[in-house]
Amino acid sequence: MAVTSLISGSKIRTMWMTPFYLFMGLLIIYLFKNQINLKKLNNFIISFVFLFLLSPFVYAYVSLTKDDKRTDYSGREIAEKVQIEWDNNFDEPIEFVIGDEWEAGNLSYHLKSRPKWEGFLSNNKILNEANEYICIDNICVGTYK
């Protein structure tokens, strides 16, 4: 994935490239099928099956015992709080969100109008050009002029 990102100049954040990488693995196996000795692969297969079965149990353990992970982020509740505050002060829909990529992006996803994420708070240019905006905690939402 890193090589593909470097060549194309894109950020690959999701697994949309998985089919491409699966076919690359199959190509390598096809090219070297004569050199592969199946009897020598037993240790690899045992290790792979062990890790394959261990992985969901470790994920479940961490997910159930740790309550400060990103999967536990209360984005919907924060979005409701921001939406109520916005509706009490303004009539226009929210058009942009500024703040941390994770928090502002999550907020943008949960808000009714699905506003655009415009970057970090250090980018005050957008706030200067905004028609209306409010900042709650470390996230700002607003409308354009």
In this predicted structure, the answer to whether residue 73 has a pLDDT above a threshold of 90 is: no
In this predicted structure, the answer to whether residue 119 has a pLDDT above a threshold of 90 is: no
Tell me if 85 sits within 8 A of 142, measured CB to CB: no
pLDDT for the residue numbered 71: 66
The model's pLDDT over 94-113, given as tens digits with 9 standing for 90+, comes to: 999 998 888 888 888 889 89
114-128: average pLDDT: 83
Residue 60, Cα to own-chain centre: how many angstroms?
Answer: 20
pTM of the predicted model, to two decimals?
Answer: 0.55
Q: How far apart are the first and last CA of the chain?
A: 40
In this predicted structure, the answer to whether residue 72 has a pLDDT above a threshold of 80 is: no
Closest CA to 111 of 86, 134, 136, 138: 86
CA dist., res. 23 & res. 40, Å (int):
23
Residue type, 134: I
Look over the chain and give the mean of its residue pLDDT values, rounded to a whole number.
Answer: 84
pLDDT for the residue numbered 41: 86
Q: What percent of the chain has pLDDT over 90?
A: 29
Give the best-scoring range by mean pLDDT among 93-97, 98-102, 116-120, 122-126: 93-97
The model's pLDDT over 20-39, given as tens digits with 9 standing for 90+, comes to: 778 888 898 899 989 988 88
pLDDT for the residue numbered 8: 76
The SS3 call for residue 3 is helix
More confident position, 90 or 15: 90
